[in-house]
Amino acid sequence: MSNVFDVQRASFDYEGIVALRDITLRVEGGQRVALVGANGSGKSTLLRLLDGLCFPSSGSVAVFGKAITPSTLQDDEFAFEFRKRVALVFQNPDVQLFNPTVFDEVAFGPLQLRLSREEILRRVGETMEFMGISQLKDRPPHRLSGGEKKRVALASALVLDPEVLLLDEPTSALDPKSQSQLIDLIQSWRSTSKTVVTATHQLDIVEDIADIVYIVQEGTIVGSGKPSEILGNSELLLRANLVHAHRHSHGGVVHSHPHSHRHSHHEHGHAHEHTHDEE
């Protein structure tokens, strides 16, 4: 498989605060990767680094074998190629939806890539149809619901038909139905050559959206592996603040176990993984 991203010992400081530290990561073409971490762990910054929106203060980031630096992105040819092949969906759709109508929003990317008018109209029409947002085309983004905004944000990236999709908390603020629709969509790319890197703190979607998981904690990668391995490693999840120790009693015996709110239909509203660290 071809190498899409190659991050070597990358660190990033933001106004004196270390956001990422010594990150090493390789993403192969067609891989589905999840960057899992608690809020503020540095996942979003890592995605921005991969998308060339910020640059490492030390170390390097390469995409398709070429370093992403301010100077390489100054090169129009490389920048166009890069933006055509890699797309990022931001966590906050209000950041991404800056155009007056949904149609303009979806058309923005193809316009910047200087595609022909006919090609733009064709792509925008097809993408809106595919995402089920054709009826919203003349609506201003501020009048949309949270789920609709997310779908439009995703459409604005998909319209570029990118090889690599970077998704920042794609299911946050979505109702359960929209959430499962989105997961179905990501799953449908499994059979394609699309590379998908998803930043999330939701453990319950990891198995559905990823082949490999990286756990990010305080700006560093503290673990990686297949979803089943990672989700089975309670100690790692506890350390990365992705689950918490739940203390309760059974028949007068108090014990604690790692606890995450993964399955809302469960009787206790949590996944029971009893370790019986009885006290």
Partner 1 sequence: MSRHFVEASLRGFARALSGAFASEQTAAKRGLLQSFDPRARIVSIFVLVLTVTLCRSISAVAVLFLLAIFIALTSRVSVSSLAKRVWLIVFGFTGLIALPALFITPGDELASLGPLIITVQGARTATLLILRVETAVTLTTALVLSTQWTQVLRGLRSLRIPAEIVTMLAMTHRYIFLLIESANQMFESRQSRMIGHLSSSEQRHMAVRTAGVLLNKSIDLSNDVYLAMQARGFRGDIRLLDDPRMRTIDVAAILATIAAASLGLWVGR
Asked if 185 is part of the footprint of partner 1 (rule: CB under 8 A), the reply reads no
Angle between helices 146-158 and 117-131 (to 10 degrees): 140
Asked if 125 is part of the footprint of partner 1 (rule: CB under 8 A), the reply reads no
Of the residues 19, 35, 63, 88, which one makes contact with partner 1 according to CB under 8 A: 88
Give the contacts of 236 (CB within 8 A, at least 6 positions apart).
Answer: 215, 222, 223, 230
Report, in Å, the least distance between residue 201 CB and partner 1. Answer: 19
d(CA 2, CA 166): 17
Tokens of 188: 């449908």
Tokens of 200: 């999330």
Of the residues 157, 182, 230, 242, which one makes contact with partner 1 according to CB under 8 A: 157
Nearer to partner 1, 121 or 238 (CB): 121
Asked if 87 is part of the footprint of partner 1 (rule: CB under 8 A), the reply reads yes
Tokens of 84: 């055509």
b/e 21-55 (16+ beta carbons within 10 angstroms → b):
bebebebeebbbbbbbbeeebbbbbbbbbbbbebb
DSSP state for residue 33 in the 8-state scheme: E
Side chain identity, residue 47: L
Of the residues 30, 37, 42, 109, which one makes contact with partner 1 according to CB under 8 A: 109
Report, in Å, the least distance between residue 101 CB and partner 1. Answer: 5
Nearer to partner 1, 92 or 233 (CB): 92
Asked if 83 is part of the footprint of partner 1 (rule: CB under 8 A), the reply reads yes
Asked if 146 is part of the footprint of partner 1 (rule: CB under 8 A), the reply reads no
Q: Where does this chain touch partner 1 (CB under 8 A) — which range of 136-144, 176-184, 223-231, 233-241?
A: 136-144
Q: Where does this chain touch partner 1 (CB under 8 A) — which range of 23-31, 94-102, 238-246, 261-269?
A: 94-102
Asked if 71 is part of the footprint of partner 1 (rule: CB under 8 A), the reply reads no
Asked if 14 is part of the footprint of partner 1 (rule: CB under 8 A), the reply reads no
Q: Which alpha helices (DSSP H) does 91-198 contain, by range?
A: 93-96, 102-112, 117-131, 146-158, 176-188
Residue 242 CB coordination number (10 Å): 23
> What is the binding site for partner 1 (CB under 8 A)?
48, 51, 53, 76, 79-80, 83-84, 87-88, 90, 92, 94-101, 104, 107-109, 111-114, 117, 120, 138, 140-142, 156-157, 160
